[in-house]
Structure 1
Amino acid sequence: MTTTPALAPTLSGILLLTVEDGGYGPYVAAPLAPAEQHWAAHLFTRDTANLIVTDLHQYDADCGLTAEWREDGTLVFTWEQGYMEFDKPGTHTVTPDAHGLYAIGGLWLWDEWTPERYVHTAGQAAFAHGAAEYRSTVTTHYPDGLIELYDRGREEAHRVTLRRDEP
């Protein structure tokens, strides 16, 4: 199975996602479907896709799903028989679209990441706050160490939306 989507317009800017019940990320995504469609694919930058792979290997190493990058920039997910509802082993290849974004979904349930729903670090909160304020002309002040994460969140949101709606 291979996915190379055409860029779809965002539904409402960005989503902050995590793997359901995981608390990983938050991952900044350009939505391809409403957040309530938990199996749906969403668009991610290469940096965020790489973070998803890193978290998968670090926190869910024994879940039966792995991922690897190929030299050509494709991302290949491989699962074992019995992973989720798959009755046999398989792979899913994600190639970047014309803008370098990766449509990732269908291999686990996504959930919206909110600081109220998931235990989080101050760094995760600063990153999420930056992403949420990516279109704002005013920025929130954070102390050193966290301001870099806030700024990274803003930049990641701009990158995944291709700087649409930039103030």
Structure 2
Amino acid sequence: MTTTPAAAPNTEPRPTYHADGTPLSVQLFTVEGSGYGPYVGLPLRDLWTPYTAHLFTRATAELIVRDMHGDDCGVTAEFAEDGTLTFTWTAAHDGDGGTIAARPDADGRYLIGGLWSWDEWGDHVPHTAGQAAFAQGAAEYQADGSGALPEPLDTLYRQGRREAQTLAGERRTNRTP
């Protein structure tokens, strides 16, 4: 089993802009072939593959871990007291087995990927009305469409907006009700 030891929190800054100066944009992900998520992620490059790692907040990382543990996928994960998220997988998962540690960056975001195939979350993914409302809020994080949906969907919409705003680094309190 390959082991990557946990280390001090990752203070290496992650980019928030593309090389041409445009800000990175949030996207919605799921594990390929599943109805998990939507996971609000921040790709670090314009073109990504299903195994590319993306940035996620602690709240989304916890959701990913919960979904993994509910599925017998051969991968487990655990948060350490220092915030490090350690993924462990069996040889049945990839032929080798191993561990890898994801440490939060200076903004508390985790770089996660490479252990399963990501897919864009969308209409082709089986989902509930609640997942759709959350996804809509995340997709509209720079505009406010709240109040247009009945409760409890409006609450999920606002949660999606807040998650995307947090991930993107938008800290203006007047942006989210």
- Name the TM-score class by shorter chain: 0.7 to 0.9
Aligned runs of 1:87-126 on 2, under 5 Å? 87-114=95-122, 116-126=123-133
Whether the aligned pair in 1 keeps the contact of 2:137 and 2:145 (CA below 8 Å) is no
Unmatched 5+ stretches in structure 2: 19-23
Q: 1:140 to 1:31 in 2, by over 3 A?
A: farther
Tell me by how many angstroms 1:118 deviates. Answer: 0.9
Whether the aligned pair in 2 keeps the contact of 1:134 and 1:154 (CA below 8 Å) is yes
Equivalent AA in structure 1 for residue 139 of structure 2? A
Whether the aligned pair in 2 keeps the contact of 1:33 and 1:40 (CA below 8 Å) is no
Q: Which has the larger radius of gyration?
A: 2
1:51 paired residue among 45, 63, 82: 63
SS in 2 for 1:48: helix
Percent identity over paired residues: 49
1:137 & 1:152 partners in 2: Cα distance? Answer: 12
Aligned length: 162
2:147 & 2:50 partners in 1: Cα distance? Answer: 30
TM-score for both structures, normalised by structure 2: 0.83
Tell me by how many angstroms 1:35 deviates. Answer: 5.7
Which contiguous aligned blocks of 4+ residues in structure 1 show a shift greater than 2 angstroms?
A: 1-6, 9-12, 33-36, 137-140, 164-167
**1:145 corresponds to:** 152
Unmatched 5+ stretches in structure 1: none
The two structures, once aligned, show a CA RMSD in angstroms of: 2.2
**1:76 corresponds to:** 86
Q: Structure 1 residue 24 and structure 2 residue 36: aligned?
A: yes
SS in 2 for 1:96: coil
1:138 & 1:147 partners in 2: Cα distance? Answer: 9
